[in-house]
Structure 1
Amino acid sequence: MIGKLKGTVDEIGEDHVVVDVHGVGYVAFCGARTLSALGGVGEAAILFIETYVREDMIRLYGFATEAERGWFRLLQNVQGVGAKVALAVIGTLSTDDLANAVALQDKAMVARAPGVGPKVAARIVAELKDKTPAFSGAAEIESFGLKREIGQGVASAPIADAVSALANLGYARDQAAGAVAVAVKEGGEGASSATLIRLALKALSR
């Protein structure tokens, strides 16, 4: 099984890249974000690889980070999501955007990916809501937990009020939730909504 490729870019297509590793060209299928992050032909490239072996073919899928590859694997645990749809999601949303969408149960954000309809997007955010922290560090897990509470409507009143206030000021919902998560860490669980708003605005201005 191939888990990683390190070589030079030999060719970039619409949905794939050929990486030359010591004279051997490996074709890796990639999402749009990964392809756009690669340099031009002849430049160095590192891809994390997911290898699919079937009776009639061997296919490599390439990702810029291990986190992207982890999401690719996780997405395919959702009913109706295969490699093509998973790659489309990874190619459209960053791992942070995808984590926010799942935490906030924002199916509209996931549905931005080509080929992902409302029903599939709804299943993705619903079925992955308790699994995402496996790909995060301690701080990200804490933030994800708070965003999930907000998305499920079980966050405390001061937290919900703070997020709502920031949203009314024009901040995106996931951005507001992330800032409030930082505010809660600084101000404590018992902080008032006014305190959380002040600390959140401070975090957003950094």
Structure 2
Amino acid sequence: MIGRLQGQLVAKQPPELLIDVNGVGYEVQVPMTCYYELPDVGKQVTLWTHFVVREDAQLLFGFNTADERALFRLLIKAQGIGPKLALTILSSMSANQFILSVQQSDVSTLVKIPGVGKKTAERLVVEMRDRLKNFTGADFDTGVPGVKPELIQTTASNAKDEALSALLALGYKANQAETVLRKVASDNMAAEDIIRQALKAMA
């Protein structure tokens, strides 16, 4: 099992990264809450990873901390929650927001996540409540992840296209994503910032 990667960040197209580890390129998918905290392309990065082997694919998911990975692993143990949906959940809200939603049985917030219907949200609340009792807000950053100031700005059109691709990869429908991007995107915004604002608007 691949549990941790440390290497050079070669490319990033949310939610996927390419990391060079001693000449081997690893494709890693990360939740947007982790993506926002990444360094620039060309810099060194360390990720805690979860490796998934299926008949048709081998998938590697990455996280900035071991606690974030632990939460992801708890999520995929829940009935009806696969790795892709778990990634979408952790992209749509912070770890603390998810934990709070479960603790407060806030089904109305959970159903706003693409792929999470009412029954799935209710099941998540029931199944995750006991599993999350050992997690506290101290385990995670309590602030809303922000875009690092040194991130390279892209052109407005490229940034919007990148943001749209990321939202589609996370399970949002094209018309829904395009509508919210028209509302939140403006010139000189980085793709990561557009995505963050779009996810916030759809929460």
* Range of TM-score over shorter length: 0.5 to 0.7
Instruction: State yes or no: 1:70 paired with 2:70.
Output: yes
Structure 1 Cα separation of the partners of residues 128 and 40 of structure 2: 35
Q: Structure 1 120/27 Cα, relative in aligned 2: closer, same or farther at 3 Å?
A: same
Structure 2 Cα separation of the partners of residues 129 and 41 of structure 1: 38
| Aligned residue type for 1:89 | I
Structure 2 Cα separation of the partners of residues 80 and 48 of structure 1: 24
Query: Which moves more between the two structures, 100-109 or 53-62?
Result: 53-62
Could you state the TM-score of these two structures normalised by the residue count of structure 1? Answer: 0.62
Q: Structure 1 132/26 Cα, relative in aligned 2: closer, same or farther at 3 Å?
A: same
| Aligned residue type for 2:129 | K
| Aligned residue type for 2:38 | L
Instruction: State yes or no: 1:52 paired with 2:64.
Output: no
Q: Which aligned pairs between 1:55-204 and structure 2 lie closer than 5 A?
A: 55-136=55-136
How far is 1:57 from its partner?
2.9
| Aligned residue type for 2:98 | L
Q: Partner residue of 1:31?
A: 31
State the number of aligned residues.
140
| Aligned residue type for 2:78 | V
The one-character-per-residue Cα deviations of 1:145-183 (angstroms, maximum 9, x if unpaired) are xxxxxxxxxxxxxxxxxxxxxxxxxxxxxxxxxxxxxxx
The one-character-per-residue Cα deviations of 1:86-140 (angstroms, maximum 9, x if unpaired) are 1111111211111111111112222232222222112111211111023348999
How far is 1:64 from its partner?
1.5
Structure 2 Cα separation of the partners of residues 92 and 138 of structure 1: 20
| Aligned residue type for 2:130 | D
Structure with greater proportional helix content: 1
Is this contact kept in 1: 2:96–2:137, CA < 8 A? Answer: no
How far is 1:15 from its partner?
2.2
Is this contact kept in 1: 2:49–2:69, CA < 8 A? Answer: yes
Structure 2 Cα separation of the partners of residues 94 and 139 of structure 1: 12
The one-character-per-residue Cα deviations of 1:58-83 (angstroms, maximum 9, x if unpaired) are 21111122122111111122221111
**Structure number with higher relative contact order (C-alpha < 8 Å, ≥ 6 residues apart):** 2
Could you list the runs of 5+ residues in structure 2 that have no partner in the other structure? 141-203
Q: Structure 1 135/37 Cα, relative in aligned 2: closer, same or farther at 3 Å?
A: same
Q: Taking every aligned residue pair, what percent have the same amino acid on both sides?
A: 36
Could you list the runs of 5+ residues in structure 1 that have no partner in the other structure? 141-206
Is this contact kept in 1: 2:48–2:63, CA < 8 A? Answer: yes
Is this contact kept in 2: 1:67–1:95, CA < 8 A? Answer: no
Structure 2 Cα separation of the partners of residues 112 and 66 of structure 1: 27
SS at match of 1:37: coil
| Aligned residue type for 1:85 | L
Could you state the TM-score of these two structures normalised by the residue count of structure 2? Answer: 0.63
